[in-house]
Structure 1
Amino acid sequence: MEKVRQNGFDWFKGCACIAVILIHYYFPNNIGIGIRTISRFAVPVFFMVSGYFMLSGEENVCDRARTIKKIKHIILILFTSAIFYFFFDIIRNLITHWGGEKAFMNIYVLQ
């Protein structure tokens, strides 16, 4: 059976990606509040599209093995990005503050 690409979902995901960027960007005054408020649709769209594709398949059933495989994949991505950004923040602070211990203390030690 040949898989058919569903372009509508790609369009929704593309708009949601742009909206996530807008959520994290600072816009001043009421314009920023409005943009962030409108952009809040992005996270639910990602959940809905992911849920749809978890259930889509030949049997249209969300079996246990497939779900566990997807959860492991998501956890791997989460930990990989967390480790990357941990070291990225340390290096960024060392470069920005060039204080060694001071740079590390600013983010990773509660005062």
Structure 2
Amino acid sequence: MAIVSRKVSDLNGQQGDDNEFAAVVVRQHPNIDQPKVLDVLVTETEAFKTIGDLVVLEVTMPDGDKREIAMRLVDFNKLAPNMDEVVKNARGTRGRVPGTRVGNSNG
């Protein structure tokens, strides 16, 4: 007796070899509370359409709750008259605030 393992697409059930599959991670969906992975034939990935230039934001509220927001770049740029400069001069998620230096100023 032999055990045979086969891979099938989560989208259409079609069988294929491992090298014909892509892993698609669904990070956010109204019906899930954690990321899920779909095994999808590479040819099926062509059906996934991009929306265009998106900005993905992570919003952390004062109580620590976080949510991820995706919005069109054109709408994001409307939030401030000089959004390119605002983003360029914003502090990074790691490291120092722009314009600060290591050490003290007693120099």
Q: Say whether the fold is shared (TM-score over 0.5).
A: no
TM-score, with normalisation over the residues of structure 1?
0.19
Give the structure, 1 or 2, with the largest relative contact order (CA under 8 Å, sep 6 or more): 1
Higher strand proportion: 2
Higher helix proportion: 1
TM-score, with normalisation over the residues of structure 2?
0.20
